[in-house]
Amino acid sequence: MLGIGIDWAEEFHDIALGTLEKGVIEQFRIPHGPDGVAALIERALRLEPDPAEVRVVIETRHGLLVEALVDAGFTVLPVNPDLVARRRGPARKKDDTEDARICCLLALDRHAVLKTLVPHGEIGGELRAIGRDDERAARDQRRLLNRLRADLQTTYPAALVVAGKDLGAPTVLRLLERWPTQAELAAASHEELEAFARAGRHGWPGRFADHVTAALAAPSLPTRDYLVRAKAAGIRLTAVQLLALHEARRGWEQRMGELLLGGRRTGADHTVKDPDPGNAFPGGDIYLSFPGLGDRLAARVAGEIGEHFDQFDTPNGLQCYAGQAPVTRRSGKHDFVVARRLAHNRHLGDAVNRWAFSSLTRSGWAREFYDGKIAAGKTHHNALRALGNRWLEILWHCLNRSVLYDEAVHVANRNRALGRAA
């Protein structure tokens, strides 16, 4: 068996090679590129001809380097950087060469419980990439909307009246792109406003124009001319960015549904007329059968779990991977429960928390479970984490048995377990 420890970076990677008999035998550095990676694979195969017996420990699960090592047939064991940091010693001084050596020793340690990387397939990989991009885009939207609201409050109060509670509506953003100041909007005629609303496929163009006119006529505090001039370009830029994000997220959501079900949703009922099971994510319909999981959240959860669901032997394995299962520390007569484990898939954990929150209005037993945790003195986030933990357990059983979620069946099983009458 050959152990390889890699401390990766953008331009180069520190490598440590070792065997069970001699420990770490050599250390070197390779450039990040096809030549450097090919040289590493060739040197490893000279020392160990069987690729399956080459164990690689690296502090990431993704990237071209990881994909190249998996394609070479090596056993890739991704670890959390905190695990390497804990083994550096009392000083814990960051050193790339030392980190590579520690990773190599971890690869040689048969008693270290490290999970082998199970790579995503094409559908799962695309679903995960789109889900993460959509998650980042959602954060960007919130940030830009907060900035836009702050600018409008100081220079363009009529726009906030026009927007009401939906500042991110495409019609409002297009209005700000065309008329980025209140004076420019006031100069527009009623006919121009109607034509604008009609071009944007607004349902009631005349009513929209009347609403804008009334908002401009409403009294407001005076604004500073120099601030209006300074913020006009920024308001238009933010509106353009938000419109681009909105269109991108719409396209991603449509693609998520296609990947989950194997076809595009059509018609008023938004169903897939001719699904192609070969192009569908395994169990995609099961994810979508859960209350609170629409196309976006279902895609995020499914993409992070991946097609190879059998890597999670028990529900607890999936719960730990998502960071929902609590960690208990015991010492003598005292028990200390850590709210959330440090090493977990944060993208999956965030998606499960949002799933738990969305299910509160769509599942009776979920609302009852959450209210019970709150009544017991738990905080909102702790109650959501406990509910997400329970949802993952149900999801594991449904995926393991290849059955859709049924609220009535689960409620009957829950009542039976709690000793309640049907």
Q: Tell the residue number behind the tokens 């991108």, with chain if given.
A: 248
**pLDDT score, position 30:** 93
* 104-152 pLDDT tens trace: 999 998 877 788 888 888 898 899 999 999 999 999 999 999 999 999 9
**pLDDT score, position 240:** 97
Predicted confidence band of residue 41 (pLDDT cuts 50, 70, 90): very high
Residue 422 reports pLDDT greater than 60 = no
- With CA atoms as reference, report the closest residue to 337 among 348, 352, 325, 353: 325
Residue 192 reports pLDDT greater than 90 = yes
- With CA atoms as reference, report the closest residue to 165 among 145, 144, 179, 135: 145
d(CA 149, CA 142): 11
Residue 13 reports pLDDT greater than 60 = yes
Please give the average per-residue pLDDT across 152-161, as a whole number: 93
* 254-305 pLDDT tens trace: 999 999 988 888 766 667 777 777 788 999 999 999 999 999 999 999 999 9
Residue 421 reports pLDDT greater than 80 = no
**pLDDT score, position 331:** 61
* Strand-strand pairing, 75-78 and 2-7: unpaired
SS3 label, residue 273: coil
Residue 14 reports pLDDT greater than 70 = yes
Residue 327 reports pLDDT greater than 80 = no
The edge-to-edge listing of strands for the beta sheet with 75-78 is 23-31, 12-19, 2-7, 54-58, 75-78
**pLDDT score, position 337:** 58
**pLDDT score, position 92:** 67
CB burial readout 148-160, b (16+ within 10 A) else e: beebbeebbbbbb
CB burial readout 389-401, b (16+ within 10 A) else e: bbbbbebbebbee
Share of the chain above pLDDT 90, in %: 65
Residue 64 reports pLDDT greater than 80 = yes
**pLDDT score, position 396:** 94
Residue 247 reports pLDDT greater than 80 = yes
**pLDDT score, position 80:** 84
* 379-411 pLDDT tens trace: 999 899 999 999 999 999 999 999 999 999 999
* Strand-strand pairing, 75-78 and 265-266: unpaired
- With CA atoms as reference, report the closest residue to 297 among 247, 252, 242, 243: 252
**pLDDT score, position 91:** 63
**pTM of whole model > 0.85?**
no
SS3 label, residue 4: strand
Residues in the chain: 422
SS3 label, residue 341: coil
**pLDDT score, position 140:** 96
**pLDDT score, position 221:** 86
**pLDDT score, position 70:** 92
**pLDDT score, position 330:** 61
**pLDDT score, position 184:** 94
Q: What angle do CA 317, 379, 413 make, to 5 degrees?
A: 50
Residues 6+ apart with CB under 8 A from 364: 407, 411
Predicted confidence band of residue 84 (pLDDT cuts 50, 70, 90): confident
Residue 336 reports pLDDT greater than 60 = no
> In the predicted model, what is the mean pLDDT of the chain?
89
